[in-house]
């Protein structure tokens, strides 16, 4: 039966190639920065209604949930539909919100990261409805918000507030059509240093907080070289990404300084271990460590805060989900998939990293275009991705 289903899915995904590209073009044309996703959510809601999804609703935070099936087993297929800003418009050859379809690509901000995944999900749902999907699965296509600002926040809300707990999840961030099974975690760390102000003409009378921050940054640089490595996920890293200071005037010794650290966490590293390392290297420099909290209000006016700690995750090579995904890929595309990992962070930090729900990544588009000018995605990737999302439930 699977071979016949695979044949039909492949044919329908190709048949709906233009449908996928035009839907992606339409949602690329709608700017949707984090916290400002209302209009694009409404557009995707209408597309799901028009294509006969069984149920379409938004959660309390503002993410859209489109359901197909009523089975006992729940699988979630996720795309965040917020984007980063455009950056320097002079670097764009084609306007970032044009949604231009040309030369086999859809162009524009968010086409790769990651509205392309969202468009392919809509097509996958259309295919499943046309096939009268009847397996014992409830498939939740989740179009989530605020990921670019705070990865995983939307899924912490879905799991902790909405009590939606899938058995498996597929993250449709760009993977260049490879199958990913994890990525490093990350956290943000702020370190504060106190000083004592004095007139700039008499610096010896004060205690310059900037010098403490500078010495601390050099120690952070040395720490980066000593962090642990994982055979699959790679090395943990830490870097000073910002330094700010405060003084009564530019003619005075700084009485406060702060450095901001970007910490990437490999397997075995946690928030506690990362903070312990910083505490140790700064034992001779008075300081205060803070893990900042994200507390922006969503477009629905909902407050849901989260500490800026995003746990590492990976699933085993013999995971049933990964095995099923690899078989789906081989049956659809008649070739062996590449199993790899993301360099950047995704909603997987919450789904799998925090809540231990087995997850994989499979998404259209090349990661190198994420957050970059001249973002574009091959229409052929949308075809393959929509086929994969529709076929996977038949192999689980």
Collapsed DSSP state (helix, strand, coil) of residue 97: coil
Q: Which of 37, 147, 173, 230 is catalytic?
A: 147
82 part of the active site:
yes
Contacts with 267 (C-beta within 8 Å, 6 or more apart), sequence order = 230, 232, 233, 312, 314
Cα separation, 382 vs 378, whole angstroms: 7
Asked whether 381 and 116 are in contact (CB, 8 A), the reply is: yes
139-178 in b/e form (b: 16+ CB < 10 A) is: bbbbbbbbbbebbbbbbbbbbeeeebebebbbbbbbbebb
Q: Could you tell me whether strands 179-180 and 376-378 are parallel, antiparallel, or unpaired per DSSP bridges?
A: unpaired
User: What tokens appear for 264 in the block?
Assistant: 């990437």
What is the DSSP code (8-state) at residue 46? H
Cα separation, 61 vs 41, whole angstroms: 12
Give me the sign of the Cα torsion angle 222, 227, 229, 233: negative
- List the one residue out of 62, 19, 61, 59 whose CA is nearest residue 40: 62
φ, ψ of residue 8 to 5 degrees: the values are -65, -40
Q: Which of 37, 78, 82, 331 is catalytic?
A: 82
182-194 in b/e form (b: 16+ CB < 10 A) is: bbbbbbbbbbbbe
335 part of the active site:
no
Asked whether 195 and 207 are in contact (CB, 8 A), the reply is: yes
DSSP 185-205: EEEEEEEEEE-B--BTT-GGG
Phi-psi region of 31 (alpha: psi -120 to 50; beta: other; left: phi over 0): beta
User: What tokens appear for 259 in the block?
Assistant: 């450095």
Contacts with 246 (C-beta within 8 Å, 6 or more apart), sequence order = 209, 254, 255, 256, 257
Q: How many CA atoms lie within 13 A of 14 on its CB side?
A: 8
List, by residue number, the catalytic residues.
82, 147
């Amino acid at each position: 039966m699977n071979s016949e289903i695979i044949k039909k899915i492949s044919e329908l995904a190709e048949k709906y190639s233009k449908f996928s590209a035009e839907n992606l073009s339409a949602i690329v044309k709608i700017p949707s920065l984090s916290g400002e996703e209302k209009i694009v959510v409404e557009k995707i809601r209408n597309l799901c209604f028009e294509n006969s999804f069984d149920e379409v609703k938004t959660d309390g935070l503002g993410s859209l949930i489109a359901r197909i099936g009523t089975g006992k087993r729940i699988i979630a297929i996720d795309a965040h539909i917020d984007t980063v800003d455009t950056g320097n418009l002079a670097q764009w050859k084609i306007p970032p919100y044009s949604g231009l379809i040309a030369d086999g690509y859809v162009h524009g901000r968010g086409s790769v990261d990651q509205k392309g995944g969202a468009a392919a999900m809509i097509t996958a749902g259309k295919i499943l409805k046309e096939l009268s999907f009847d397996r014992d699965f409830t498939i939740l296509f989740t179009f989530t918000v605020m990921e670019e600002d705070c990865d995983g926040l939307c899924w912490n809300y879905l799991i902790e507030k909405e009590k939606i707990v899938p058995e498996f999840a597929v993250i449709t961030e760009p993977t260049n059509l490879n199958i990913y099974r994890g990525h490093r975690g990350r956290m943000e760390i702020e370190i504060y240093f106190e000083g004592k102000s004095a007139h700039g003409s008499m610096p010896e009378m004060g205690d310059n907080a900037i010098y403490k921050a500078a010495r601390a940054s050099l120690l952070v640089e040395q720490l980066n070289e000593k962090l642990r490595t994982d055979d699959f996920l790679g090395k943990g890293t830490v870097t000073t990404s910002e330094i700010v200071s405060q003084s009564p005037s530019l003619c005075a010794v700084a009485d406060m300084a702060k450095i901001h650290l970007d910490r990437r966490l490999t397997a075995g590293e946690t928030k506690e271990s990362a903070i312990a390392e910083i505490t140790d290297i700064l034992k001779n420099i008075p300081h205060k460590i803070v893990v900042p909290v994200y507390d922006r209000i969503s477009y629905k006016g909902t407050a849901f805060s989260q500490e800026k700690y995003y746990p590492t995750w990976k699933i085993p090579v013999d995971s049933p989900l990964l095995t099923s995904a690899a078989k789906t890929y081989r049956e659809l595309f008649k070739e062996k998939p590449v199993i790899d990992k993301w360099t950047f962070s995704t909603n997987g930090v919450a789904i799998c990293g925090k809540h231990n729900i087995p997850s994989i990544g499979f998404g259209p588009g090349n990661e190198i275009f994420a957050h970059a000018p001249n973002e574009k995605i091959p229409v052929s990737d949308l075809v393959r991705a929509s086929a994969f999302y529709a076929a996977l439930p038949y192999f689980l």
